[in-house]
Amino acid sequence: MEHLKQLLDELKSIEFFNKNELCIIGCSTSEIRGSKIGSNGSMDIAKELFNSLELIHKETGVHFAFQGCEHINRAITIERELFDAHSMTEVSVVPQVNAGGSLSTYAYQHMKDPVVVEHIQCDKGIDIGQTLIGMHLKHVAVPISIETKCIGEAIVTVAKSRPKLIGGARAKY
């Protein structure tokens, strides 16, 4: 997928991926194929996405979390080493292509020690196919303007987060 490589190269060039940060990935492989979200998933596309993201992880040290689809309440698949019992709740589900989505399923099958959690707060995210990753981003989410607007037929949206500005007019930032 030419546009995937283009997007990842673009994000690397602006230093979007940082060591030890957590990046949520929401993806509809159906939308990439030009179909309605949740209707035509592809494990082949999921494999290509996952392998490309694994290379980014190895190059930059960023960690990826994979959002499942609405059928598993958008639960998140992560490596167990990232699990924090104080801020995350593990759930009992194994993502499936038709209940979790292809990318979440592929990630679960190919991670060293996967765990699925109900909620997570990530530093940044990539949404491929309008999967609504916002619920898994830290406040305050800031959109990132990118040149790569689509992967296949799926719209791509990228965001990062920043600390909240609190304290009013007398505060210094």
CATH code for the domain of 103? 3.40.50.10360
Tally of CB atoms within 10 A around 150: 14
**Which structural domain range is residue 108 located in?**
2-164
Q: 154 lies in a domain? A: yes
Report the C-alpha gap between 27 and 145 in whole angstroms: 18
pLDDT of residue 169: 80
Residue 172 lies in a domain: no
Evaluate whether residue 170 is within a structural domain.
no
- pLDDT, residue 59, reads 98
Question: What mean pLDDT is predicted for residues 151-165?
Answer: 96
Amino acid symbol at 170: R
Burial class (CB in 10 A: 0-12, 13-18, 19+), 113: exposed
Cβ atoms 72, 93 nearer than 8 A: yes
For the segment 68-89, the average pLDDT, to the nearest whole number, is 96
Instruction: Look at strands 76-79 and 114-117 and give their pairing.
Output: antiparallel
- pLDDT at site 46: 98
Dist. CA 143–CA 125, nearest whole Å: 10
Asked if residue 25 lies in contact with residue 156, where contact means CB atoms within 8 angstroms, the answer is no
Confidence at 19, pLDDT banded by 50, 70, 90: very high
In this predicted structure, the answer to whether residue 17 has a pLDDT above a threshold of 90 is: yes
Per-residue CA distances from 154 to 28, 42, 77, 111, 127 (Å): 8, 13, 21, 25, 9
For residue 1, what pLDDT band results from cuts at 50, 70 and 90? confident
Q: How many domains does the chain have?
A: 1
| Token pair recorded at residue 18 | 């940082």
Residue 140: is the preceding peptide bond cis (ω within 30°)?
yes
Segment 41-53 mean pLDDT: 98
Say if 169 falls within a structural domain.
no
- Report whether pLDDT(171) > 90: no
Mean pLDDT, all residues of the chain: 96
Q: Is there a contact between 15 and 123 (Cβ–Cβ < 8 Å)?
A: no
For residue 158, the cross-strand partners are 126, 144
Q: How confident is the model at residue 56 (pLDDT cuts 50, 70, 90)?
A: very high
Q: What is the pLDDT of residues 94-150, one digit of tens each?
A: 999 999 999 999 999 999 999 999 999 999 999 999 999 999 999 999 999 999 999
Give the pLDDT of residue 39: 93
Question: Considering the domain boundaries, does residue 10 fall inside one?
Answer: yes
In the prediction, which pLDDT does 172 show? 82
Q: Does some domain include residue 27? A: yes
- In 3D space, the residue among 169, 150, 110, 123 whose CA is nearest the CA of residue 27 turns out to be 150
Domain contains 171 = no
159 pLDDT band, cuts 50/70/90, is very high
